Amino acid sequence: MKVGVIGCGYWGPNLVRNFLQLPEVTGVACCDLDTTKLERVKRLFPSVETTTRAEDLLLDEKIEAIAVATPVHTHHSLGEMVLKHRKHLLVEKPMANSSRRCLELIELASEVNRLVMVGHTFEYTAAVNKIKEIVASGELGDILYVSSTRVNLGLFQQDINVIWDLAPHDISIINYVLGKSPVGVNAQGSSHYKKGIEDVATLTLNYDNGLVAFIHVSWLDPNKIRRTTFVGSKKMLVYDDISAQEKIKIYDKGVEAPPYYETYGEFHFSYRYGDIFVPRIEDYEPLRAEVAHFVDCIKHGKIPRSDGFSGLRVVSVLEAAQRSLRAQGRFMPVVYRGVSNHGVLHPIGQRELQILRAG
């Protein structure tokens, strides 16, 4: 198949490169309003067709799918045009700047019988899939809480705050690993350089059964940190995406309370300090796995791992976090539009489409 890419800034050239490496892809055409960016892509990949007009990609009958890697506020309008021209859609995170617009893309994709997939790239990494496997096996025991830090110096965004820029990664990772979505969010943040656009923030995701996840994001940190800790009742796991060789470490550490005691003086916690285990991971480029999955789903009619509903869940959490941010950190329930049960959404059928249109 032939593939199109709209947006050749930071992420677009990576999409072009990985699409070109797939044997199923016969050609790539890319679009950007900035001719300088197009010239750079052409130098890197001479076989790629370039244009400043999105219509050229939309009207090309040979192009079956288009990836959108543009600023967030354009995702909905461009995604809508892609689907209306009956092309499959891969849209970068976050899927759109509101859950209502996410649902509109999901509905439209269902009507024209085309796929919509969201670029939650970390769900395609070897490390995150290994973590999901470890958590599902019960090796860590019951997950008590999750703590994630994603900070660096820059890059400041003009149209979204740090929560919408960095937190989608952590929200998608945690939801994917746990297999569930939060029921509520608390968020606090601060703007230091541009009024109304927070550059540092902390989120608390509240799941059912008392499970919480803490996410700290910042554009104002001297160090680049990408670390997530899963604390279980048996063991603990630390995922460091920056580490080249030891991305995952499992700590055989824990706390145990006595099963029975008669007096307060008999009550003593016992602390277990065991070994540290580093599982071996067969690493690969996540984006290559992501675009290969996208093409495979198109060819064989599969539902993508990070489908439109995955994007919708993440944006729903971001919306709740934004409401909490404006309410000085007050708890905000996450509203999952459409068919929902504590954040578990299912593919939309015709009846659900009618309900959405009526609502």
Residues 195 and 146 both lie in one domain: yes
Q: Which of 56-60, 92-96, 318-322, 346-350 is predicted with the least confidence, judged by mean pLDDT?
A: 346-350
Grouping H, G, I as helix, E, B as strand and the rest as coil, residue 1 is: coil
CA torsion angle 117 205 145 126 (round to 10): 20
Same domain (yes/no): 13, 130: no
Beta strands in the chain (DSSP E): 2-6, 27-31, 49-51, 63-68, 88-92, 116-119, 143-153, 184-190, 200-206, 212-218, 220-232, 236-240, 248-256, 270-277, 332-333
- Kindly tell me the sign of the dihedral angle through the C-alpha atoms of 221, 222, 226, 231: negative
Measure the CA–CA gap between 131 and 176, rounded to whole angstroms.
10
Q: Tell me what the mean pLDDT of segment 151-172 comes to.
A: 94
Please count the structural domains in the chain: 2
User: Do 210 and 305 share a domain, yes or no?
Assistant: no
Confidence of residue 266 (pLDDT cuts 50, 70, 90): low
What burial letters (b/e) apply to 253-271, b meaning 16+ CB within 10 Å?
bbeeeeeeeeeeeeeeeee
Task: Please report whether residue 147 resides in a domain.
Answer: yes
Cα separation, 175 vs 92, in Å, equals: 18
Q: Between residues 208 and 97, which one has the greater pLDDT?
A: 97
Using the predicted structure, report yes or no on whether residue 212 has a pLDDT greater than 80. Answer: yes
147/270 same-domain check: yes
Give backbone dihedrals phi and psi of 311, rounded to 5 degrees, phi first: -65, -40
User: 221 and 142, same structural domain?
Assistant: yes
For the segment 13-25, what is each residue's pLDDT rounded down to a tens digit?
999 999 999 999 9
Locate 103 and state its tokens: 């649902």
Max Cα-Cα span within the chain: 79
Residue 157 banded pLDDT, cuts 50, 70, 90? confident
265 has pLDDT over 70:
no
Residue 264: inside a domain, yes or no? yes
* Percent of the chain scoring above 70 in pLDDT: 91
pLDDT grade for 261, boundaries at 50, 70 and 90: low
User: Average pLDDT, stretch 211-226?
Assistant: 97
Residues 267, 298 within the same domain? no
Task: Give, to the nearest 10 degrees, the angle between helix 99-112 and helix 350-358.
Answer: 140
Instruction: Check whether residue 187 and residue 104 sit in a common domain.
Output: no
Q: What is the pLDDT of residue 264?
A: 58
Give domain status of residue 331, yes or no.
Answer: no
Mean pLDDT of 328-339: 86
Residue 259 has pLDDT above 90, yes or no: no
- pLDDT number for residue 156: 87
Q: pLDDT tens across 234-249, in order?
A: 999 999 999 988 999 9
Mean predicted confidence (pLDDT) in 284-304 = 97
State yes or no: cis peptide before 333, omega within 30 of 0: no
Sign of the dihedral defined by the CA atoms of residues 194, 196, 197, 199, in that order: positive
Does the residue 67 lie in any domain? Answer: yes
128 and 264 together in one domain: yes
pLDDT at position 268, please? Answer: 65
Residues spanned by the domain of 139: 123-277
Average pLDDT taken over every residue of the chain: 91
Q: Are residues 255 and 155 in the same domain?
A: yes
Over residues 48-94, the pLDDT tens digits come to: 999 999 999 999 999 999 999 999 999 999 999 999 999 999 999 99
Q: What is the CATH classification number for the domain harbouring 210?
A: 3.30.360.10
Residue 332: inside a domain:
no
Question: In the chain, pLDDT over 90 holds for what percent of residues?
Answer: 82
Average pLDDT over residues 152-165: 91
Closest by CA to 216, choosing from 202, 227, 197, is 202
Same domain? For 252 and 305 the reply is no
pTM of the full predicted structure?
0.90
For residue 116, report the phi and psi dihedrals to the nearest 5 degrees: -125, 125
CB 71 within 8 A of CB 44: no
97-129 confidence digits (pLDDT tens) = 999 999 999 999 999 999 999 999 999 999 999
d(CA 228, CA 208): 20
356, 135 Cβ separation under 8 angstroms: no
Task: Please answer whether residues 105 and 96 qualify as being in contact, where contact means their C-beta atoms are separated by less than 8 angstroms.
Answer: yes
In this structure, is residue 199 part of a structural domain? Answer: yes
Residues in the chain: 359
**Least confident stretch, 160-164, 174-178, 205-209, 353-357:** 353-357
The pLDDT of residue 177 is above 80: yes
CATH code at 319?
Answer: 3.40.50.720
Same domain, 271 and 135: yes
Collapse the DSSP code of 358 into the 3-class scheme (helix H, G, I; strand E, B; otherwise coil) and give the result: helix
